[in-house]
Amino acid sequence: MRVQRDGVIDAAMALLDERGLDELTTRRIAERLDVRVGTLYWHVKDKRALLTALADRILAEALPDGTPPERPWREHLRDGAHRLRAALLRHRDGARVVAGYAPVSPFMLRMAESGLRLMREQGVPLATAAYAGDTLMSYVTGYVLQEQAEPTGPPDGSALAGLPLLAEWATTRPAGGDAAFAAGVNFILDGVRTHLAAPSA
């Protein structure tokens, strides 16, 4: 069977989705493709390179279809954060893969450069743009890491005894993680906007 690089990445992604990152091994990928393990290394240098390619593939899913329209940096970052969360959630352990291997991936570097350019063109200082992008990326991956972790469930009533504010929040907070995620994204972007409006900025 003739194997191409995309086929190796496809097989690795399918195995990731089925069994998770801890069960993703080159031996299992080779078995899926019906080849020897050594054959894989003609296409990916090592497992780290393979995981970087998976991170690139997941990040590519977060891009909008076609050329994105020109729009304010706040909308660009907000929508990008929501698309990234959706892409991470589509893959088992997607946040672990991206958090661990995307920082050195070519796709991530190009995506970061594009975001910095958009913000600079709209008058945002480079340092502010870079810190904003890093903070938002860390928030998204951290949030999804918690979503994809083994569920522990909400604390029971006895755990909240004597903690009236937490007990009230536990009974009134919206169900699901969408509202909380959106609130966090808005807090970060509001903070960037406030920083830019400060005289010292």
pLDDT, position 50? 92
Work out the pLDDT band at 55, boundaries 50, 70, 90. very high
Q: Please compute the mean of the pLDDT values over residues 58-74 and round it to a whole number.
A: 80
- Between CA 51 and CA 55 the distance in angstroms is 6
pLDDT of residue 175: 67
- φ and ψ at residue 124, rounded to 5 degrees: -85, 125
Specify whether domain 68-197 bears CATH 1.10.357.10.
yes
| Overall average pLDDT of the 28-46 stretch | 89
129-178 pLDDT, tens digit each: 999 999 999 999 999 999 998 776 666 667 888 888 988 888 887 766 89
Alpha-carbon gap, residue 19 to 23, rounded angstroms: 6
What pLDDT does 188 receive?
A: 97
pTM of the model: 0.88
Domain boundaries, the chain: 68-197
* Encoded tokens for 79: 């929508």
Share of the chain above pLDDT 90, in %: 61
